[in-house]
Amino acid sequence: MSLEFIKRKAGLNVLYWKIKYSLDNIKEKHEHRTDLISSMEKSLTEVAEAVQYLNHVDKMLMATNRRNHELQLENIMLKQENKSLKINVEKLIDGL
């Protein structure tokens, strides 16, 4: 995972908590401002969905990286096996 991804993810989390804190304050001190409260609740939901999606992307990225690593190891092993088989074939051909 890149540092930029972590930074963006953290930024969205901070934004979520800023909106939530402001929304709670407005509900407490200006409960009659339903227009503002409604708008902020919608924004809070959208940010929460973005955070949730980034968490999903993060998990998928980790799984993809893990699979990529496994495939790279398998590729190295197969190359080594191929090299060994070529040497054995050359020995067999030379022996005939």
Q: Backbone phi, then psi, for 66, in 5-degree steps? A: -65, -45
Contacts of 44 (CB under 8 A, 6+ apart): 16, 19, 20, 23
What is the per-residue pLDDT for 95? 83
Give the predicted TM-score (pTM) of the model: 0.72
What confidence category does residue 1 fall into, taking pLDDT thresholds of 50, 70 and 90?
low
Do the Cβ atoms of 47 and 20 come closer than 8 Å?
Answer: no
Helix, strand or coil for residue 74?
helix
Number of separate domains in the chain: 1
d(CA 44, CA 63) in angstroms, rounded, equals 29
pLDDT tens, position by position, 33-89: 999 999 999 999 999 999 999 999 999 999 999 999 999 999 999 999 999 999 999
Domain span at residue 31? 3-95
Q: Is 96 a residue whose pLDDT tops 80?
A: no
CA–CA gap between residue 30 and residue 49 (Å, rounded): 26
Q: What is the model's pLDDT at position 92?
A: 92
pLDDT at residue 85, rounded to an integer: 97
